[in-house]
Amino acid sequence: MIVETKKGKLPVRYGMNALAHFGDLTGKTMNVVMSTMGELGDMKLSELLAFIYAGFVDGARFAKVECKVESIEEVGDMMDEDSDLATKMFEAFGGDSEEPKGESKKK
C-alpha cells in the first residue's frame, strides 16, 4: 500500500517482517506482539511510533526502494506535521485500501 505523507507517497507494509521488526524495536515477544496487534489503541506512544516506523521500513524493503523514513524520531516529527498519519497507517495495517493497479494478490 502507498500512504501519502509530507515526505511524499511512501510504501507501507505490515507483513511478518514488520511485526518482527516491531518486536525487536519494542522488546516484545511474539505472543505479546500478536496480542498487541489486536489492541492497537492500547499501545504506548513510543510503541505507536515504532509500529509506524516498522511499516515504512517493511514497505520500502518489499517495494525494493530506499526507505525515506530514517528513524522512529522522524516518525514523531511526521506525526507532528500530519495528525492523520496514524489513521492512515492503521488503515494500511487493516488492509482498508485497494491493491495498487498492476499488482495482484498471490494465492
52-97 tens-digit pLDDT? 999 999 999 999 999 999 999 999 999 999 989 988 888 888 874 4
Report if residue 103 sits inside a domain.
no
Report if residue 36 sits inside a domain.
yes
Give residue-wise pLDDT tens across range 1-52.
999 998 999 999 999 999 899 999 999 888 877 776 666 667 788 999 999 9
Report if residue 48 sits inside a domain.
yes
- CA 54, distance to chain mean position in Å, is 5
Report if residue 101 sits inside a domain.
no
Distance CA 53, CA 71 (A): 7
End-to-end CA distance of the chain: 18
User: What domain range is 89 assigned to?
Assistant: 2-94
Structural domain count of the chain? 1
pTM, 2 dp: 0.81
